[in-house]
Every structure is written in structure tokens, then in C-alpha cells.
Amino acid sequence: MRLLAAQIYAYAVPFRPLRADDGKTPVRSGLFLRLSARAPEGEILSGFGEVAPWPPPDAAGLAELTDQAEEGLRAVGRLPATQLMDVSKDALLPPGLSPAVHWGLDSARADLLARVQGLPLHRLLSPASRSRVPVNAVLQERPEGLEEAVTGYLAKGIQTFKIKVGSRSPGEERQILETVWRLSGRTARFRLDANRMWRFSEAARRLEAFRDFLVEYVEEPLCPEDLPHLPELYRKTGVPAALDESLAEFSPEAPVLRGRAVAALVLKPQQIGGFGAIRRWCRLARTLGKSAVFSSSLETGFGLALLAHVAAAWGTAGVPAGLHTLDFLQESLVTEETEIREGALILPAAPGAGVSPLLDAQEVELVREVALA
């Protein structure tokens, strides 16, 4: 396989349900990376990656990411063939790249290699991978649209629901859970996300109100100052935590990761970085008996397809991933949206990611051609 060229595309797609205080519709901005090569049979194939950190970058931030992506693509172009074709190890990329750029480069390289070898991406990453990934739903609907939304998710076979907590009154939050609980026939499971908003005393009080429901975990329940009190919170409420942003603040040897107070590690590749870092967290989760839950950063439909393949290869089997988020964007920017059936994303059988970004969409613009050595 010989690399030929690379391009960087910028995209900007409006969010669907969210509105800023100034009345404007927020925009999801990011980059698509395209890496092209000549396959052994002579055919020219392309692999793709997505760079989409959260929160979405402004114009200056996008320009910085574009510069980093160009530097990284040039480095990939200089890789020896043995490194280029071994996605199980970190490539020798320039230091200082943002995690999102590192993820975009590794996923583009792996997508290309999978297409050249004629394999679905998840199968390239792990021979023991699965072709379907169960997902949870994210409930953001207003009360008047809640029952319709929940009924729709249940019709897709989804039984796990993620709900943001802390910004509504306790009574409103309990009403949401009661509605889902009733419509599901008292079988729904819940993942709460407090987004590091609570002090210990408030977290304990709020979680007590949810004892009647099947709560798998509460994501980031404590503010940074109270984070050391996670074990005490678990002893008091019986509700374990999931760590997302806080993962950066713990070493793998941290005692809190080894107890029952933490049930899951929420893995967002746009925040974590390349394949090496992702696999290290997955191995740690497996060693400690925790769930490795892959979750989106509200990427496009193509970015979600990449995440689904990685979750199928390295995530904890049978544990729903946080990948049912495409409804938040007005356009998916993907050639074909991944199907959800019986509560799971069904991965395409075609080589690579099985889908590609829509580079000719009006929301997408070619911003840089990158010459490869």
C-alpha cells in the first residue's frame, strides 16, 4: 500500500433541538480527514477520520486543529510501511497533537487499511469483535414531547436511558423517570449524568430520590472539590458512579478506581486520543471489572460509525454505548446512517467503516490539500 494524497475538510452543521440564549442555533463544527492510497491491486482507495472536540471549536480553534491535522498527515506520510499498516500500536506522530486530532489520524489510517484489506473496521481491530452494538437513548425532550420520544425509543428496542440531572427541580427529574418507567413496563434502566454539578450533600440527597428505579450509575456526580468522596457517596446511596471528564485526574493506580464506587469508564475518543490511549483504558476497565462505555462527543453520522466499530471491537460486550446522538444534528453528513434494530446499532458489512462522510454536502468545504512524502 502506497500513500498518495491527503485532504482536510471543514464542516459546520446546525444542532437540531438546542438554542443559545441569543436565539441563534449552535453549530457543530469539525474536520474530516481523507487519506488516499494505491492498493496492491492498483485501485485507489480512501480512508477517513473525524476531528470533533467538545465543545465545538470556533474559527480560531478550527484553524489550529487544521494546522495540527496537516502536520499529523505529513507525519503519517513518512511512516515506514510496517508502522503504517500496524494499527495495534501508536504511530510516531508529532508531540503536542490534541486528542481529537490524534483520534482523527488513527481512525483515518485504520479505515484506509481496513478498506484495502476488504475487512469491516471492527474486524480489523479485533477478530473477536461484534457486528452489533447496543445503545442507550439520551432524553433531552421537553415534557410535552417526552412520551412520544420514549415510545419511539422503546419501539427501536432501546431499554437504557441517559438523563441529564441537576439543572431541573428534583420533582421534574423524578417525573421524567416515572414516565419512562411507566411506558417501559417498569423495565427501563437509567444512567444519570450530573456533569460535576453537585456537592456531596446535594448528590446524596438527590440520589436518594431515585431509589425506586433501576439506576445503573450516575455519571460525574461530584464537583472536582468533592471527587475524593465518591466511595462515601456509594456507601450512602448504593448508586455507583461513572467517570468521564474525571478520568484525566486519576492515575490507573488510584484506589477509587478499584472499589465498587465506580462502575464504568466513559470513553470519548475525541477527548482521549489515539488507539493506544483508548486500548489502555479498555484494558484497565477489563482488569478492574468495570464497564468500558464508549460515548459520542456529538459527532456527525460518519464519526458515530467510527465509534461504533471501535466499541464493537474494544468496548464491554453487551453494555449499551452512548452512540444514539445523531438526532441532535440537522444533517448527518454520512452516505448512509447506521441502522438501529432491537436496541443496537447494526454495523455495515462493507470494508472499512462501511460508510463515508458526505464531502460534497453544502455544509462541508475542502480547506487544505496535503502533499505526502
What is the CATH classification number for the domain harbouring 50?
Answer: 3.30.390.10
- In sequence order, the β-bridge partners of residue 15 are 329
pLDDT at res. 221:
97
Domain co-membership, 333 together with 363: no
Task: Kindly state whether residue 353 falls inside one of the protein's structural domains.
Answer: no
- Domain housing 72: 2-119+359-370
Predicted confidence (pLDDT) at residue 373 exceeds the cutoff of 80: no
pLDDT tens figures, 163-203 = 999 988 889 999 999 999 999 999 999 999 999 999 999 99
281 vs 142: CA distance, rounded Å = 35
231 vs 171: CA distance, rounded Å = 26
Domain count along the chain: 2
- Contact between 241 and 261 under an 8 Å Cβ cutoff? The reply is yes
CA distances from 166 to 73, 150, 244 (A): 42, 21, 17
Query: Which of 56-70, 84-98, 269-283, 286-300 has the least mean pLDDT?
Result: 84-98
Domain co-membership, 78 together with 183: no
User: What percent of the chain clears pLDDT 70, i.e. is strictly above it?
Assistant: 96
The model carries a pTM of 0.95
- Residue 208: CATH number of its domain: 3.20.20.120
- Candidates 261, 259, 279; CA nearest to 269 is 279
346 vs 243: CA distance, rounded Å = 27
Predicted confidence (pLDDT) at residue 340 exceeds the cutoff of 90: yes
Task: Kindly state whether residue 20 falls inside one of the protein's structural domains.
Answer: yes
Domain co-membership, 76 together with 170: no
Task: Kindly state whether residue 204 falls inside one of the protein's structural domains.
Answer: yes
Domain co-membership, 315 together with 366: no
Task: Kindly state whether residue 61 falls inside one of the protein's structural domains.
Answer: yes
C-alpha cell at position 247 = 478520568
Query: Which of 141-150, 188-197, 209-218, 347-356 has the least mean pLDDT?
Result: 141-150
Task: Kindly state whether residue 352 falls inside one of the protein's structural domains.
Answer: no
What phi and psi values does residue 221 have, to the nearest 5 degrees?
Answer: -75, -25
- Candidates 337, 316, 334, 356; CA nearest to 13 is 334
Task: Kindly state whether residue 354 falls inside one of the protein's structural domains.
Answer: no
Task: Kindly state whether residue 175 falls inside one of the protein's structural domains.
Answer: yes
Domain co-membership, 196 together with 299: yes
DSSP 58-109: -HHHHHHHHHHHHHHHHHHHTS-HHHHT-TTS---PPTT--HHHHHHHHHHH
Domain co-membership, 150 together with 74: no
Domain co-membership, 245 together with 319: yes
Task: Kindly state whether residue 292 falls inside one of the protein's structural domains.
Answer: yes
Domain co-membership, 75 together with 135: no
Domain co-membership, 109 together with 219: no
Residue environment code for 6-34, b if the CB has 16+ CB neighbours within 10 A, otherwise e: bbbbbbebebeeeeeeeeeeebbbbbbbb
Predicted confidence (pLDDT) at residue 133 exceeds the cutoff of 50: yes
Mean pLDDT to the nearest integer, 75-101: 83
Domain co-membership, 304 together with 221: yes
Domain co-membership, 301 together with 161: yes
Domain co-membership, 108 together with 192: no
pLDDT at res. 20:
45
